[in-house]
Structure 1
Amino acid sequence: MSDKSDLSEVKKFDRSKLKKTNTEEKNTLPSQETIQQEKECVQRHKMGISFLHQISTLLKYLSLGLVL
């Protein structure tokens, strides 16, 4: 195999035989509003997890009699 590609078939290619196609954007980017809503949702989730961890730790200490 050589380092140079065989471009002979590419040179023979007739672009006029291609059909015209219309592309339609299907994967649009989210709006700034959607991004902000998702950030807020993630922040609320993190706060909820933190709160549950704190409650779990407090209950563990209470069960051990370490919290008055």
Structure 2
Amino acid sequence: MSLSDKIGNKAEDLGGKVKETAGEATGDQALANEGRADQAKAAVKDGVEKVKDAVGGVVDSVAKHLKK
């Protein structure tokens, strides 16, 4: 996962937490739900990036063994 992806996902997660907290503090359930959705979206993106990293590592490993 690239550093920019990590930063982007973390920023989206933190933004979601801010929205959720603000929505709960003001009684704005729609804003709170939007914040939860933003956090979930960031978690999914983070998971996808981790899978991509794992698959890339396996592909690199197989390629090294095939070169032998």
**Cα distance in 2, alignment partners of residues 32 and 58 from structure 1:** 40
The residue type equivalent to 1:33 in the other structure is N
How far has the Cα of 1:33 moved from its partner?
0.2
| TM-score normalised over the length of structure 2 | 0.51
Which deviations, in whole Å up to 9, do the C-alpha atoms of 1:7-47 show, x marking residues without a partner? xxxxxxxxxxxxxxxxxxxxxxx711000000000000000
How far has the Cα of 1:50 moved from its partner?
0.3
**Cα distance in 2, alignment partners of residues 65 and 43 from structure 1:** 33
Higher helix share: 2
Gaps of 5+ in 2: 1-29
Match of 2:31 in 1: 31
Percent same amino acid at aligned positions?
3
Match of 1:40 in 2: 40
How far has the Cα of 1:59 moved from its partner?
0.1
Describe how 1:1-68 pairs up with structure 2 within 5 A.
Answer: 31-65=31-65
**Cα distance in 2, alignment partners of residues 44 and 51 from structure 1:** 11
Gaps of 5+ in 1: 1-29
Structure with the bigger RCO (C-alpha within 8 Å, sep 6+) is 2
**Cα distance in 2, alignment partners of residues 48 and 55 from structure 1:** 11
